Amino acid sequence: PPLVGTIVVVDPSDTIVPRAKAILETP
């Protein structure tokens, strides 16, 4: 099934989102 939606990351450093996004989108 497709993985569609919004993931909210509570992260004071604001560094995890770009990394996690890149990892999840890498096949």
Partner 1 sequence: QVISVEWRSEKSLDAVESVKSELAKGSILAGAAITGDMLDPAKDATALALFIPSSLSPKHVRQVSRALQQAVEDERIARSGIDRAMLTRLADQPEPLTTRISPAGSEAKERTELRLLVPGAFMFLLWICVFTSANYLLTTTIEEKSNKVMEVLLAAASPMQLLAGKILGYSMVSAVMLLMYGGLGIA
Residues that bind partner 1 (CB under 8 A): 1-17, 19-21, 23-25
Amino acid at position 23, single letter: I
Amino acid at position 19, single letter: R
CB of 26 to partner 1, least distance (A): 9
CB of 22 to partner 1, least distance (A): 8
CB of 27 to partner 1, least distance (A): 8
Tell me phi and psi for residue 19, to 5 degrees.
Answer: -70, -50
CA–CA gap between residue 25 and residue 27 (Å, rounded): 6
